[in-house]
Amino acid sequence: MTLSEQLAQYIEDVRFDDIPQDVVQFTKLCIVDYYSSLLKGQEAEPVRMMEQVAQVLGGEKQATAVTGLKTSITNAAFINGGASHVIELDDIHKASIVHAATVIMPAAIAIAEWKNLSGKQLIEAIIVGYEVAFRVGETVTPSHYYYFHNTATCGTFGAAAAVAKLLDLSKEQIVQAFGSAGTQAAGLWEFIEDGAMSKQLHPGKAAMNGILSALLAQQGFTGATAILEGRRGFFEAMSDEYDVTRMTEKLGQQYKITENAFKVHASCRHTHAAMDLALELHKKVEKSGIDFIKSVEVGAYQVALDITDAKNPQTIYAAKFSMQFCVALALLTGEGGFDAFNADTLQDPTIRKLMEKLTVSVDENINSQYPQEWGAKIQIHWQDGSSDVVQSRFPKGDPENALTDQDFINKFNSLVPLEEAHKEKIIHDLLHLETIQVQQLIRTLHPVEHISIV
């Protein structure tokens, strides 16, 4: 059997009644976390641009974008993919480096709304989508990640899997859906050099492509049956080295979604262990003052520096990908959430002064534990010759340093720009998702349809 065939068999076999209750509960918390980012992200400029393009593309009113716009399923997934990724607070899986929610949930929820499917069916689909995306990502990481944004590439397979489950595709059709998904999987890291909006395009387009792949397969459209392991397939083309055993090891015996991690800081996940440590040191920095700091050394793993070693970010978004800025911000302000990254902090002379005292480098001990551990170390040297050293193996939100159920609700309430009563209704529906139809959730989210004109 090809890998696609084995995945198809797994997808067909998953049934809600067989899923442990703790996995169901965890999946619902993943959805709560997704909506935290999605509902806040609707305010962002790239999302408004994506909505305008969706209106130009047109289509039937099949599903609902976060903005309230009724549009086609592909357009809704496109907009919601960008919106749920733009504020840099969406989930992350360490081993695969995939932000799964921002691709899989926009695709799955659009289909579930369109077909008026149940919350149980949506939960099934999200679980299989995460499983597939994570396994593809684990197989090609780390070499794939140097050039390719795993969320976009590996996430396309996950979106196709979730939609295939919701459409009740046959095993043969699921294989074909993967073939079409793999040939569309794309997303290059070059955007980071400019702080470009392409990062929001990635999950939106991956979600669209997942839907398109499954719909094509439903019509009998064929794709490569060995798209993953074939000699000119995804693994060979897009990774210098890969471990195929990661695709099927304990497949159907575990739930990889439970390995998911979550953000509490509104920046690149590779900065988070260091930001946790900086927050730990904030009180001492506040008491001592910046002039008493001689230097700050930040140690991390190589990939973290490949992505976030940016000494002079010029935009708010670029600042979220600057280890120097993120650490200085947390040390001086004691903050790292969405509101901490703004025009004032970006150009704050005190933050910039501290950034000049800050160096980042690879810590070989930390690097040797990556990607199982996304750790960091900070050493502050004071003017009197003393120093403070702190180290972390797991940033807040990792399974090993987990959020509580209440943490998810607090995050939602702090981010979502809605009235308290409305937020309470949304949380209630999300935490009881297995008892309702997805269209009920959408009505709770959007009691009034919004139609804007280009």
The DSSP bridge partners found for residue 378 are: 298, 390
- 452 — pLDDT class (breaks 50, 70, 90): very low
Token duo for residue 10: 């797994």
Each residue of 76-123: pLDDT tens digit? Answer: 999 999 999 999 999 999 999 999 999 999 999 999 999 999 999 999
Residue 141, phi-psi category: left (phi > 0), alpha (psi -120 to 50), beta (remainder): beta
Cα–Cα distance between 360 and 167 in angstroms, integer? 48
Q: Provide the greatest CA pair distance for the chain.
A: 73
Whole-model pTM: value is 0.95
Residue among 411, 341, 337, 450 at smallest CA distance from 35: 411
Instruction: Enter the DSSP assignment of 454.
Output: -
- 194 — pLDDT class (breaks 50, 70, 90): confident
Q: Which residues of 406-444 are buried (b: 16+ CB within 10 A; e: fewer)?
A: ebbbebbeebbeeeeeebebbbebbbebbebbbbebbeb
Q: Are strands 358-362 and 293-300 parallel, antiparallel or unpaired?
A: parallel
Cα–Cα distance between 368 and 264 in angstroms, integer? 25
Q: What is the sign, positive or negative, of the torsion defined by CA atoms of 275, 277, 282, 283?
A: positive
Q: Give me the pLDDT at residue 163, please.
A: 99
Query: Where do you find CATH 3.30.1330.120 in the chain?
Result: 269-398
Query: Where do you find CATH 1.10.4100.10 in the chain?
Result: 3-262+424-445
Each residue of 68-77: pLDDT tens digit? Answer: 999 999 999 9
Contact call for residues 130 and 257 (beta carbons, < 8 A): yes
CATH 3.40.50.150 fits 269-398, yes or no: no
Out of 3.40.50.170, 1.10.4100.10, 3.30.70.1350, 1.20.140.70, the CATH code matching 3-262+424-445 is 1.10.4100.10
Each residue of 329-386: pLDDT tens digit? Answer: 999 999 999 999 999 999 999 999 999 999 999 999 999 999 899 999 999 999 999 9
Contact call for residues 333 and 345 (beta carbons, < 8 A): yes
Share of the chain above pLDDT 70, in %: 98
- 126 — pLDDT class (breaks 50, 70, 90): very high
Cα–Cα distance between 431 and 436 in angstroms, integer? 10
Q: Give me the pLDDT at residue 195, please.
A: 87
Contact call for residues 8 and 252 (beta carbons, < 8 A): no
User: Average pLDDT, whole number, for the chain?
Assistant: 97
Q: Give me the pLDDT at residue 200, please.
A: 98
Q: Give me the pLDDT at residue 451, please.
A: 41
- 453 — pLDDT class (breaks 50, 70, 90): very low
Contact call for residues 310 and 323 (beta carbons, < 8 A): yes
Each residue of 144-169: pLDDT tens digit? Answer: 999 999 999 999 999 999 999 999 99
Average pLDDT of span 6-35: 98
User: Does the pLDDT at position 450 exceed 60?
Assistant: no
Token duo for residue 176: 């074909």
- Which CA distances in Å does 444 have to 64, 96, 429, 437, 449? 12, 33, 8, 11, 11
Residue entry with tokens 């690097």? 367
Share of the chain above pLDDT 90, in %: 97
- 449 — pLDDT class (breaks 50, 70, 90): low
Q: Give me the pLDDT at residue 43, please.
A: 87
Instruction: Enter the DSSP assignment of 392.
Output: E
The DSSP bridge partners found for residue 437 are: 118
Amino acid at 60: E
Each residue of 248-274: pLDDT tens digit? Answer: 999 999 999 999 999 999 999 999 999
